[in-house]
Amino acid sequence: RFTTAAGGWTLWENAAGDCAWKLHASAQPLEQGAALDAQSTVFPATFANLLKLKNLIQEHDAASTIFPSATAQLGRSTLGIGARFTTLHWPAVEWAMSALGLGVTANQNSIPRELVYDVNAMLENRLDTVPFPFIGTNVPEGHQGQSVEGMSHGCVLSKLKNGFHHRRIAWSFNADHQPIGGKFDVREDALVRGCLLASYITFDLSPELALNQPAKFADIPADIVSKTRARVATAGLTLDAPAFEKLLCTVWTPMQKMKVRDGKYAAARAAAFTTDAGRVYLRELSIDELPGLTTPETTAIMLALCEVLGMPVNFVAPAFGFQKNMPYPDNAALRALIQKQWDVCEKFGVSIGFHSGSGKSADNYRVMGEVTGSRLEIKTSGRYTYEMGVAVAQAKNASDAVLWRDWYKFTLDMAVAGAFSADATEQKMARTFIVTPLAEAKRPTDVFSSPAATRAALEALPVSPEHMFFFEYNFLYVLAAGGRPEKSALGDHSPAGYKQRARFYALSAETQLLYSKGVARYIVFLAETTGLATADRCAAALKLLDRYATYAELLGDISK
């Protein structure tokens, strides 16, 4: 339950998952209302009504945490909890935030890469494709199998269903890797519309940078150049003039397009929402797409440009050379790399975003937290797909066990096929994914004389979600038509793809408890090692987590 000036509200849901808003009054503040009796009215849970309801809630209570927000704390320190696969991890995220008293970026996804940016485009077969070099093909956009509006709607409903809003802990929704320029120019208005409820935008300049069309230095306004140079100087850096001019020419057009996009995000929120709390959003600039490891000078110039152009960012994501799901091998070197970046970021009042943040060591995370004073964001997404594998692999439920068998076989089949691909990149990556678990098991690694030999070697391994080939290919299964490992079946937005996705949403409560415990433990681990929560608070949370014997018990504690 929650209240607005119109009265008290309750979210209703039927067995099919359809929702409605019940207002305990006879007013009609939303569309398509129907009176239940003289004292109550119901309204369909449409997206249009959701937007209106946001205004009603925030006009009544600006500090409400039903909707994602952009509080100062979330703009300084957070964990990015990605939804690369399904949204079944949301209750665990809500539980962890509640148990730790810590708000995080509780919903995060790349759009349009992983989410469908426009359902009509999907239905009309107008979605573009996304290159996946490690499998040697392109996969349709939205391979997570959900629309951005659907996810925006769902993450709010989840907070209400589980009572998380009673905890009044602010959380954010990051529209990650928003593509700037290039082929995305023609549909940026649709991207802006889709991301209306996101309270945090990550700007990704790589589509425009990929065109390799640097501006002429003479075309960059002189006052922009001088102000940028002066702002960098106040941060204590001395710039090499030719390098400074070259970088400015490289990024000038992308930055101008970022400015246009930023203006559109602001205008859309101003038009749709009536309160400052509803309109404000956080910004992150992703610069890890620029060549090589990011230098402090590059970071300083980019942050200065953002300030000069009137769009200061909360987070910046330099390139540290991270690999997904792999610890950084040298903590001393990592500390030095981060310190150089932090010396710049601190002077700009900007936190560091660590992309590809899953699977680092506890020591890696401690270094990140210590150097930045916990002024950071760790972006994680692949981890939660892995945790699903861990949970389903332990399942006693017969249907869940079949899902695990099929899922594991899918990844093994993908690995074997990739190992003999004519595409050099695909073959190299697949063989790495195969050799790694064989070497860890101290098995022979010269197994590529034939596909049959490779398959035999992999099938001789104990079935486990820990194998690298499972981790790398697992997310592709969610929308694979019929669960088939053929490339043509991947990212299938037909009924066949969505029937496949439904298998995960039919998991037993027993397996969902296992999954939620795994997700929650990982979030607690991240919070402790990065310094976002105290060791005592984290220990208490883990002790509570271990007590749950049923999924219902875990859900019941979210609101407490």
Tell me the per-residue pLDDT of 44-54, one tens digit each, with 9 for 90 and over. Answer: 999 999 999 99
> For residue 532, is it within any domain?
no
Looking from the CA of 261 toward its CB, the CA atoms found within 13 Å total 29
Which of 333, 363, 385 represents a domain boundary (last residue)?
385
Are both 341 and 450 inside the same structural domain? no
pLDDT of residue 286: 96
| Helix-then-strand count for the chain, H and E | 21, 15
Given a cut of 90, is residue 123 above it in pLDDT? yes
**Do 238 and 365 sit in the same domain of this protein?**
yes
Residue range of the domain that includes 466:
397-509
Of the residues 385, 415, 444, which one is the last residue of a structural domain? 385
Above 90 in pLDDT, residue 291? no
In the predicted model, what is the mean pLDDT of residues 536-551? 99
Residue (of 192, 198, 167, 315) closest to 257 by Cα position: 192
Same domain, 401 and 432: yes
Using 50, 70 and 90 to split pLDDT, how confident is the model at 67?
Answer: very high
Q: pLDDT tens digits, residue range 435-467? A: 999 999 999 999 999 999 999 999 999 999 999
Domain containing 346 — which CATH number?
3.20.20
Residue with tokens 């009673």: 166
Strand, helix or coil for residue 30: coil
In terms of domains, do 162 and 99 share one? yes
Distance CA 363, CA 78 (A): 18
Give the pLDDT of residue 31.
98
* Mean pLDDT score, 327-341: 97
Please report whether residue 541 resides in a domain.
Answer: no
Answer yes or no: do 323 and 429 share one domain: no
pLDDT over threshold 90, residue 382:
no
- Of 482, 490, 498, 356, nearest to 418 by C-alpha is 490
Q: Is residue 543, in this structure, part of any structural domain at all?
A: no
Residues 302 and 305: their CA atoms lie apart, in Å, by: 5
Q: Is the pLDDT of residue 325 over 90?
A: no
Q: Which of 509, 529, 544 is the last residue of a domain?
A: 509
Residue 123 lies in a domain: yes
Please provide the average confidence, as pLDDT, over all residues in the chain: 97
The verdict on 126 and 54 lying in the same domain is no
Q: Grade residue 355 by pLDDT with cuts at 50, 70 and 90.
A: very high
**At residue 289, does pLDDT exceed 80?**
no
Both 285 and 318 in one domain: the answer is yes
Together in a domain, 318 and 371? yes
What are the pLDDT digits (tens) for 158-205?
A: 999 999 999 999 999 999 999 999 999 999 999 999 999 999 999 999
Confidence label for 290 from pLDDT (cuts 50, 70 and 90): confident
Q: Is 226 in the same domain as 129?
A: yes
What is the pLDDT, as a whole number, of residue 298?
94
Give the model's pLDDT for residue 61: 98
CB count within 10 Å of CB 443 equals 14
Residue 13 lies in a domain: yes
Share of the chain above pLDDT 70, in %: 100
Number of domains in the chain: 3
Identify whether residues 265 and 302 lie together within a single domain.
yes
pLDDT tier for residue 295 given thresholds of 50, 70 and 90: very high
Taking the C-alpha atoms of residue 163 and residue 558, their distance in angstroms, rounded to an integer, is 6
In this structure, which amino acid lies at residue 356? S
Helix (H, G, I), strand (E, B) or coil at 356: coil
* 98 and 53 housed in the same domain: no
Place of tokens 């987070």: 315
Whether 31 maps to a domain, the answer reads yes
Q: Is residue 419 part of a domain?
A: yes
Residues 129 and 264 in one domain: yes
Spell out the residues 6+ positions from residue 5 whose beta carbon is closer than 8 angstroms to its own: 56, 59, 60
Q: Has residue 48 been placed in a domain? A: yes
Mean pLDDT of 310-321: 97
